[in-house]
């Protein structure tokens, strides 16, 4: 197609002050295929991973992209990644990189807010994901997963993507809003999916008007649900605080109560973020496991002590499932939902020896770094054993981000995935009916649905 043809070699606007690494001739090389005016944008919107692979194949750890009027540099070197993810917001901004979040949740939501308000909200979110809280969440995760197992019956077929999304939303709603109010949100999956339909860190909402209208309509619907939950909780407070209760009682440092508009954004933002990250990881984990059935025998043997007499799951027991951990890490490595981590330079700065002008979009890519043979030998193979051979390999995974903005909910997501896989393996023989394929473009790279599996209950659990 005309939009994807290779253009003459060009250079990006990011330059280096001294030769280093893979770029030793001055200017950062531009990936091929840039068009006049639009640059790589059309190809990037259609197949972002293809453009990234091409840039890496042509230039290695460092290459430039031209995304319409935005100059971008992709940095894969481990030292550069640490610098990017460790820079303060005043230098490399996450808020300026994801403007759609302002449209969805307002300018005072989490890292979109001023520093003092960001810190106040972080103090509210951090306890939600601490170890003690996760112990309580485990019972909720197990209860909802066992209910799914019961609904599945003796045999049948299901769509992995839809089933994981529905289960995840039920667990999130119950966990953060409480069993008394979570049901209001648990049935709103379609609204959340419409709400997310216009997510793009490159295109403003007005460039996709139909999606923008659907997203705004869903936003109004979800705001109504959250306001209803706030009103009911204030009328009937819980004796022990949960996240919703903490929001109802939240105040600024000067003692003023936080207005409901901000509370709604914070509540909705947490549910949205937890849903976006966890449901996709759940689906990929199950699909990857069924694609590689050679691991099932070892996984079943490992969990045998946990299955005695139908005992409930415990954190200690799940912690001992190290082979399952390695399988889930490998799924996360090969199928990170975020193919890019983006920051925008708010001032001229240096990363390593590279001069980065103000306004440049600075990118690193979990999708690419998880496939670097220097860091993950035989990178395209599904090899969970690599984490036994090199325990530090898990520290190089960027699926949940890294640095100061690392995802607070990563342990929540991994625990929920572990519960689902453990209980489904225990109760069912399963096989895939469709070939798993990722969502294309720049959306979170989840599993494309429908992706069906067939199952039948194990005789010893019937």
Which tens digit of pLDDT belongs to each residue from 412-430?
A: 999 999 999 999 999 999 9
∠ at Cα 164 (266, 157), nearest 5°? 160
Where is mean pLDDT largest: 132-136, 140-144, 235-239, 338-342? 140-144
At 206 the pLDDT is: 67
pLDDT category of residue 404 using cuts at 50, 70 and 90? low
In SS3 terms, 46-106 reads as HCHHHHHHHHHHHHCCEEEEEECCEEEEEECCHHHHHHHHHCCCCCEECHHHCCHHHHHHC
Confidence tier at 443 by pLDDT (50, 70, 90): low
Please tell me which residue, 195 or 200, carries the higher pLDDT value. 195
Over 90: is that where the pLDDT of 124 sits?
no
Range name among 183-187, 210-214, 376-380, 440-444 with the lowest pLDDT average: 440-444
pLDDT in tens, 70-96: 899 999 999 999 999 888 888 998 888
* Residue 26 reports pLDDT greater than 60: no
Q: What angle do CA 279, 282, 286 make, to 5 degrees?
A: 145
Whether the CB-CB separation of 43 and 4 falls below 8 Å is answered with yes
The pLDDT tens digits for 203-236 are 766 677 888 889 899 999 999 999 999 999 999 9
Confidence band of 270 (pLDDT split at 50, 70, 90):
confident
Structure tokens at 10: 């060009």
Per CATH, which fold does 1-101+339-398 belong to? Cytochrome p450 (1.10.630)
d(CA 145, CA 138): 10
Backbone φ and ψ of 172, nearest 5°: -60, -45
Q: Is the peptide bond before 450 cis (omega within 30 degrees of 0)?
A: yes
- Residue 172: per-residue pLDDT: 94
Q: Cβ–Cβ contacts within 10 Å for residue 42, how many?
A: 18
* Tokens coding 226: 């959250």
DSSP string for 213-243:
HHHHHHHHHHHHHHHHHHHHHHHS--SS--H
CB burial of 345-370 (b: ≥16 within 10 Å; e: otherwise) equals bbeebebbebbbeeebbbbbbbbbbb
pLDDT greater than 70 at residue 260: yes
Contacts of 305 (CB under 8 A, 6+ apart): 317, 320
* Residue 415 CB coordination number (10 Å): 20
Can you give the pLDDT at residue 128?
82
Check the CA dihedral 92-94-99-105 and report its sign: negative
Residue ranges covered by each domain of the chain: 1-101+339-398
């Amino acid at each position: 197609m005309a939009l994807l043809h290779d253009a003459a070699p060009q250079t990006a606007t990011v330059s280096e002050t001294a030769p280093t690494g893979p770029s030793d001739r001055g200017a950062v090389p531009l990936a091929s295929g840039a068009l006049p005016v639009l640059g790589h944008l059309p190809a990037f919107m259609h197949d972002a991973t293809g453009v990234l692979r091409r840039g890496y194949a042509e230039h290695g750890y460092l290459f430039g992209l031209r995304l319409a009027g935005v100059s971008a540099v992709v940095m894969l070197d481990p030292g550069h990644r640490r610098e990017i993810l460790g820079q303060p917001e005043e230098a490399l901004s996450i808020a300026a990189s994801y403007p759609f979040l302002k449209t969805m949740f307002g300018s005072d939501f989490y890292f979109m807010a001023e520093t003092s308000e960001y810190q106040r909200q972080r103090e509210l979110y951090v306890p939600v994901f601490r170890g003690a809280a996760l112990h309580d969440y485990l019972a909720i995760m197990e209860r909802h997963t066992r209910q799914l197992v019961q609904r599945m019956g003796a045999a049948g077929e299901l769509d992995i993507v839809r089933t994981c999304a529905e289960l995840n939303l039920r667990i999130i709603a119950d966990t953060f809003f409480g069993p008394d109010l979570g049901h209001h949100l648990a049935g709103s999956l379609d609204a959340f999916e419409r709400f997310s339909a216009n997510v793009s860190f490159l295109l403003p909402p007005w460039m996709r008007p139909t999606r923008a209208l659907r997203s705004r309509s869903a936003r109004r619907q979800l705001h109504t649900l959250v306001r209803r939950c706030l009103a009911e909780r204030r009328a009937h407070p819980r004796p022990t605080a949960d996240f919703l209760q903490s929001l109802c009682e939240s105040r600024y440092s000067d003692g003023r109560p936080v207005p409901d508009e901000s509370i709604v954004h914070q509540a909705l933002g947490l549910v949205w973020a937890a849903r976006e990250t966890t449901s996709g990881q759940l689906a990929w984990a199950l699909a990857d496991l069924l694609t590689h059935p050679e691991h099932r025998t070892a996984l079943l043997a490992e969990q045998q002590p946990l299955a005695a007499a139908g005992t409930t799951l415990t954190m200690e027991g799940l912690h001992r499932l190290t082979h399952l951990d390695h399988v889930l890490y490998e799924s996360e490595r090969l199928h990170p939902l975020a193919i890019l981590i983006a920051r925008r330079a708010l001032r001229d700065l240096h990363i390593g020896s590279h001069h980065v002008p103000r306004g440049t979009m600075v990118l690193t890519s979990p999708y690419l770094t998880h496939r670097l043979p220097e860091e993950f030998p035989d990178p395209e193979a599904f090899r969970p054993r690599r984490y036994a051979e090199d325990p530090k390999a898990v520290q190089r995974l960027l699926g949940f981000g890294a640095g100061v903005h690392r995802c607070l909910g990563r342990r929540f997501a991994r625990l929920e995935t572990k519960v689902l896989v453990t209980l489904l393996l225990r109760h069912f023989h399963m096989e895939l009916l469709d070939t798993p394929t990722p969502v294309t473009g720049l959306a979170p790279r989840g599993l494309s649905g429908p992706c069906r599996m067939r199952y039948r209950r194990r005789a010893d659990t019937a």
